[in-house]
Structure 1
Amino acid sequence: MSRINPAPWLTIVICYEHPLNERIRTLLRLEDLFDKVAFFSARDEAIEHHSALVTLFEILDVTSRADMKSELLQELERQKQALETMRKSPDISEGALNEVLSNIQAASHSMLNMAGKIGEHMREDEWLMSIKQRMGIPGGACEFDLPSYHYWLHLDPILRRNDLNEWVAPMLPLEEAFSIVLNLLRCSGKTFPHIARHGVFQQMGSARVAHMLCLKVDEGLPCVPEISANKYALNIRFVISGSRQKTKIYDDDVKFELTYCNL
């Protein structure tokens, strides 16, 4: 979810991205985690660097599947082949196409040069893994449980940041690869305006070939979309935000834009 520039008939909008398969769901989670690592690592406070390390451990968990690297490489190759077929189209800028293909080639090369499993350099670090294990326990990273980690948090912020950058650096080719895939996915979409009558919208079979939905709605509305989709139907209902009672559907009509994204 993000705030974006307004659509023609809206003021400020929020974009809700809804993945329609596990592969895209994983890439969106990784994007969010890498953004958080970059944000917290750039700060100076010990608690912010603690948050950066916690997020790095989450990346390790998300990337624990052995086939993630090969899947990303295959997806980059698929996109490369698909883009090559568009070279003769008069609607395609050859310069822009060559730039994207060059980025894909560079990302694939970097992924191929990644040694071992994603995050293996961290998994082989006994000190880091002892911290990760303790963090799995509620309150387990207290100073009396991990005095060496407590000492690290009291180092100069520059030294801590250097360590964080060193730990994340071997995984940056992964970020480069999935960023290209997600960018191509987002740029592929066709957008349509819709109205949810009394907060409810349904469309039959519309999400059958999509990999992700992007829904844009005026941020001033006191409601959020709940999306469910399968190959048979797309259902969206706008529910009142922050309600402590039973989920209540927003009763007014809601204008929104819906983009069907497909790789």
Structure 2
Amino acid sequence: MTPASELVTFEQPLTEKVRTFLRLEFLFAQHQHHRADGTPFGARATLHALLDILVVISRSDLKNEILKELTDQHAHLTRLASKPGVDPALLKGVLAEITQAVNGMQQLATQFANSLLRGNDFLTTVLSRASIPGGTCAFDLPIYHHWLSRPESQNRADLDAWFADLRPFEQAINLYLKLLRNSVPAQQAVARGGIYIQTPQAPCVLLRVTVPVDARVYPEISAGKHRFTVRFMSAGDVNARSHQAATDVPFQIQCCAL
């Protein structure tokens, strides 16, 4: 068995909701990474990740969507408590996590992201230039240049204040995706000649494909309502065009749903 550290997992969302949740998970991780950098470029990267999060959240009613998912999952897991083979301590811990996440989300205003973007001229100004290559350099945005020149502690205080309402969202998104990924065990499979086709026997909202790093392949996943296809491509020289793997590729697969 290949050690976990030598495996790489590729994920394919099969619904728009899960696609959005995965984007937010990525942006939250990006924000956390750059938040540890105390330089002006670290502050820039942190703020731009924060703005991306606010834009994604402001586009739809994600608050109610994630609340519904977690509330339904809490009810489902509560029903499992009386069944044999269930670890009561583990179940209690998961239910407590869900309760904490739900309580945090319920305290947020539904359109808090829109309100923050509309009500803060500084954030709106930076956001309007952020999509332009080099559009937030000093001569374009002198107010941004001034903000970045202040003591790090002052900028950190601003960044923390702007991110405060996003912390419950981060916790809820990460918890939902953890539950989703752990909803089914990984199954061993083989892509004959680099191709694998499966008709799922149950609803699936997230497809996960795990391969050894040293296999030097990556999957191209095409998923429809009734079946999905995994085609493994060679991952040798990134400066050359990839081709479908000609050999059999052993891998692990998960069809996740809650």
The normalised TM-score by structure 1 is 0.91
How far is 1:115 from its partner? Answer: 2.9
* Residue in structure 1 matching 2:36, options 42, 45, 57: 42
Q: Which residue of 2 aligns with 1:260?
A: 255
Unaligned runs of 5+ in 2: none
* Residue in structure 2 matching 1:200, options 195, 199, 219: 195
2:100 is equivalent to residue 100 of structure 1: no
Please provide the CA RMSD for this pair.
Answer: 1.9
Paired with 1:130 and 1:94, the residues of 2 have a C-alpha distance of 51
* Residue in structure 1 matching 2:123, options 125, 128, 138: 128
Higher helix share: 2
* Residue in structure 1 matching 2:243, options 229, 242, 248: 248
How far is 1:118 from its partner? Answer: 3.5
More displaced, 51-60 or 234-243?
A: 234-243
| Aligned residue identity for 1:160 | N
How far is 1:193 from its partner? Answer: 0.7
Q: Which residue of 2 aligns with 1:4?
A: none
Unaligned runs of 5+ in 1: 1-6
Is the Cα contact below 8 Å between 1:194 and 1:256 reproduced in 2? Answer: yes
2:133 is equivalent to residue 170 of structure 1: no
Return closer, same or farther for 1:172/1:11 CA change in 2, 3 Å cut-off. closer
Q: Which residue of 1 aligns with 2:227?
A: 233
2:214 is equivalent to residue 214 of structure 1: no
Is the Cα contact below 8 Å between 2:219 and 2:231 reproduced in 1? Answer: yes
How far is 1:183 from its partner? Answer: 1.1
Q: Secondary structure at the match of 2:80?
A: coil
How far is 1:18 from its partner? Answer: 1.3
Where do 1:34-183 residues align within 5 Å?
A: 34-119=28-113, 120-183=115-178
Q: Secondary structure at the match of 1:85?
A: helix
**Deviation digits for residues 87-116 of structure 1 (CA, Å, limit 9, x no counterpart):** 111211222212221221221111111134
* Residue in structure 2 matching 1:224, options 204, 218, 238: 218
The normalised TM-score by structure 2 is 0.92
Is the Cα contact below 8 Å between 2:2 and 2:212 reproduced in 1? Answer: no
Q: Secondary structure at the match of 1:209?
A: coil
Number of matched residues?
A: 256
Paired with 2:153 and 2:12, the residues of 1 have a C-alpha distance of 38
2:11 is equivalent to residue 25 of structure 1: no
* Residue in structure 2 matching 1:15, options 9, 12, 30: 9
Q: Secondary structure at the match of 2:58?
A: coil
Is the Cα contact below 8 Å between 1:208 and 1:232 reproduced in 2? Answer: no
